[in-house]
Amino acid sequence: MAERVFITGVGIISAIGNNVQENLHHLREQKSGLGYTRHIDTIHKDVLPVGEVRADTPTLAAMAGVQDTPGYTRTTLLGLVAIQEALQSAGIKDARELPTAFINASTVGGMCDTEKVYFDILDPNKEGDFLKYIDTLDCADCTQRIADAVGIDEYVTTISTACSSSANALMYGARLIQQGLVQRAICGGTEALTRFTMNGFNSLKNIDKQFCRPFDQQRNGLNLGEGAAYLVLESESLVKERKAQVLAELSGWNNTNEAFHPTAPSPEGDGAYEAMKNALKMSGRSTADVQYVNVHGTATLNNDISEGIALERLFGTQVPKFSSTKAFTGHTLAAAGAIEAIFGVLAIREALIFPNLHFSQKMEELNITPETQLLENYPVNNVISNSFGFGGNNASLVISKYEG
């Protein structure tokens, strides 16, 4: 019998706050973090809304407790801020005390800083501080700097499956625990806004010039965001041994592929349906046990149809409360799965359902509409958290209330 896997610590930084408490506060206040970039030099800066972390990079360095920052990219610093909170929240003073895994996720690694100096790096006549950023472009750079800073050296790796990256990082860490390779894994992702991704999604014509409207008939694309989030996962036996406080159980997960198109889901939501169905089956819960689905809900034309149909296929006429929190944070790509998993933990802990902001009109393809009110004192025992990405990568997590 595989060990149960518990969530014992959480840490976030996003456009709606520098820690879990601030994120929760803004979710409750129903206050979106979307706005315009202050940190990126782009022609889109007053045109395309983003969910940007307010702190500039030197401020993030100070928050992360990094004195001198040679080669510390914004991606790394966001990650450091979030992981420190996650460790603290789990009551872990020193990550070195136990063999621990660090499974990180990113889609473009240190692109945020290398894109600024890329052409200087290519110019043989230029020398200078920018050379410190030469080796920071790949996704491993931020992972290793974070691992080194907090002292993790057992399993250190990075997953990149586009927008499902950190959901896959959570699954992988949970499986390492179940197979007995480690008792503790810290999993999540970090993503900084870049000109690269803004122009990438804009060239695909799926960025909305207005604030994104998930699951709305008038939706017209996503808004990118940035942030980082980590969850501390521990085996049941370790939790008992050290009498750790359990925030929730990661009770089910599944990863499927759409095999339909490089950047679009199938219209019937086959991958999303299978991922949710299998994750729920693994958790031992039935559809009736789910009170809330934190949908991927990017507000792109395709995702919301496909995901909505998958919800109707799985739950029939009894679709539970669902909402997309991307209208709060923007779409934080590789960090999204972990940020939203933490929102799932908060929904259970605080007995609340987050509203889907900016919704006004039901989609004609669907019979269902997202929850638009903040629901307090709403008992939540099981949450499905969805993350779907390019390459047909789908991931669903089931997060459950800890029943002892």
**Catalytic machinery residues:** 163, 296, 331
Q: 252 or 370, CB closer to another protein?
A: 252
From 3, 22, 69, 196, residue interacting with another protein (rule: CB under 8 A) = 196
Q: 20 or 146, CB closer to another protein?
A: 146
Binding footprint of another protein, residue count (CB under 8 A): 61
The counts of H helices and E strands in the chain are: 12, 13
CB of 387 to another protein, least distance (A): 13
Considering the rule CB under 8 A, would residue 143 count as an interface residue with another protein? yes
Contacts of 300 (CB under 8 A, 6+ apart): 206, 219, 221, 222
From 121, 368, 374, 375, residue interacting with another protein (rule: CB under 8 A) = 121
CB of 255 to another protein, least distance (A): 5
Stretch that binds another protein, among 4-12, 136-144, 215-223, 226-234 (CB under 8 A): 136-144
CB of 52 to another protein, least distance (A): 17
Whole-angstrom distance, CA of residue 312 vs CA of residue 366: 8
Whole-angstrom distance, CA of residue 190 vs CA of residue 325: 17
H/E element, 238: helix 236-241
Contacts of 60 (CB under 8 A, 6+ apart): 53, 74, 77, 78, 81
Beta carbons of 226 and 55 less than 8 angstroms apart: no
Alpha-helix runs per DSSP H in 2-56: 20-29
∠ CA 39-192-61, nearest 5°, is 75
CB of 155 to another protein, least distance (A): 7
Q: 199 or 287, CB closer to another protein?
A: 199
Whole-angstrom distance, CA of residue 163 vs CA of residue 396: 12
From 42, 217, 220, 372, residue interacting with another protein (rule: CB under 8 A) = 42
DSSP state of 387: E
Considering the rule CB under 8 A, would residue 125 count as an interface residue with another protein? no
From 153, 241, 365, 376, residue interacting with another protein (rule: CB under 8 A) = 153
- The token pair at 43 is 């022609």
Q: 17 or 79, CB closer to another protein?
A: 79
From 70, 262, 316, 379, residue interacting with another protein (rule: CB under 8 A) = 262
Q: 82 or 207, CB closer to another protein?
A: 207
Nearest to 174 by CA among 163, 162, 159: 159
CB of 32 to another protein, least distance (A): 25
Considering the rule CB under 8 A, would residue 4 count as an interface residue with another protein? no
Considering the rule CB under 8 A, would residue 110 count as an interface residue with another protein? no
From 226, 249, 274, 307, residue interacting with another protein (rule: CB under 8 A) = 274
Q: 191 or 274, CB closer to another protein?
A: 274
Beta carbons of 303 and 297 less than 8 angstroms apart: yes
- Beta bridge pairs of residue 263: none
DSSP state of 365: T
∠ CA 301-303-304, nearest 5°, is 75
Nearest to 85 by CA among 194, 188, 184, 236: 188
Can you give the binding site for another protein, defined by CB under 8 A? 42-44, 106-107, 109, 115, 118-119, 121-122, 131, 134-135, 138-140, 143-144, 147-148, 153-162, 168, 172, 175-176, 179, 181, 195-196, 199-200, 202-204, 255-263, 270-271, 274, 389-393
